[in-house]
Amino acid sequence: MNSSASESNPDHDAWPLGPHWAAIDWVLTDVDDTLTLHGRLPPQALVALAALREHGIEVIAVTGACAGWCDHIAHAWPVSAVIAENGAVVMRKVAGRLQLNSDRPLPEIRADQARLREQVERILLDYPDLSLTLDQPYRLCEVAIDIGQNRPPVAAKTVRQVLGRIHALGAQATASSIHINAWYGEHSKRTTAMRYLAEQGLDEASIRARVCHVGDSPNDQPLFEVLPLSVGVANIRRYWNGLSHRPTVVTPGEGGFGFAQFADQLLALKRA
């Protein structure tokens, strides 16, 4: 089972994966610094995604990344679907054609985004060192602030302050390793992922037994919490003491290299 940050053992289940992981046939995975590392996609990660697909394992990317980037992922990467912008939209191919679905009409979502952008830009007047992400024009729902993607990492205290001010607006907001993501609406990585899995015919017991999540940062905690089997790539260690919900295992490698190690272990168990 996953664990709270109060536990003394930092490793939970020992690496490598135990035999009980062989039941996993659905993999939810974060993208930035989980499949990528320092902004690049290691070839080992792409090969691992293809190997999982070839073995019949469904891989769903669950990310705060912009819809424009996720459109590319859904089209070009060997994944079954992409849950983009922290659950705002789901992209998946049906009969070879990409479909985009959201829980609210897109015009309504875009109107909320425009209102929130004005509010966030006013907050940023008090933080002249911060700016919106370069990919903001390619977002359908969120407003995103760069805290480490194309700039040096922002101090944790500043991130907490900005998150608090966004929450005070009545908006949702979360921090990843590279962005603060903010939005109006009730969706989240967790709610949209659970709904998507239910739509694919998985009941609660099946989800707990057959689905795992791979992540790297505090905004992965809601999925670490709900899924008994979860994976942190090694770079999650930098957040370890602040996590309320930790992954079940941690890979030796960081980012996409760690994801490839996880995929190799899972496929070895499947072949055994």
Please state, in angstroms and rounded to a whole number, the distance separating the CA atoms of residues 177 and 175. 7
Q: Which amino acid is at 18?
A: G
Length of the chain: 272
**19-103+187-271: which CATH topology?**
Rossmann fold (3.40.50)
Burial 210-224 (b: 16+ CB within 10 A, else e): bbbbbbbbbbbbbbb
What pLDDT, on a 0 to 100 scale, did the predictor assign at position 13? 64
Please state, in angstroms and rounded to a whole number, the distance separating the CA atoms of residues 194 and 43. 29
- Domain boundaries of the chain, sorted by first residue: 19-103+187-271, 106-183
What pLDDT, on a 0 to 100 scale, did the predictor assign at position 14? 75
**106-183: which CATH topology?**
Hypothetical Protein Ta0175; Chain: A, domain 2 (3.90.1070)
Please state, in angstroms and rounded to a whole number, the distance separating the CA atoms of residues 33 and 27. 16
Task: Judge whether 226 and 1 are in contact, CB under 8 Å.
Answer: no
Give the pLDDT of the chain (272 residues) as one tens digit per residue: 454 443 434 445 679 999 999 999 999 999 999 999 999 999 999 999 999 999 999 999 999 999 999 999 999 999 999 999 999 999 999 998 999 999 999 999 999 999 999 999 999 999 999 999 999 999 999 999 999 999 999 999 999 999 999 999 999 999 999 999 999 999 999 999 999 999 999 999 999 999 999 999 999 999 999 999 999 999 999 999 999 999 999 999 999 999 999 999 999 999 99
What pLDDT, on a 0 to 100 scale, did the predictor assign at position 2? 53
| Tokens at 214, concatenated | 């791979």
Place of tokens 């993999």: 27
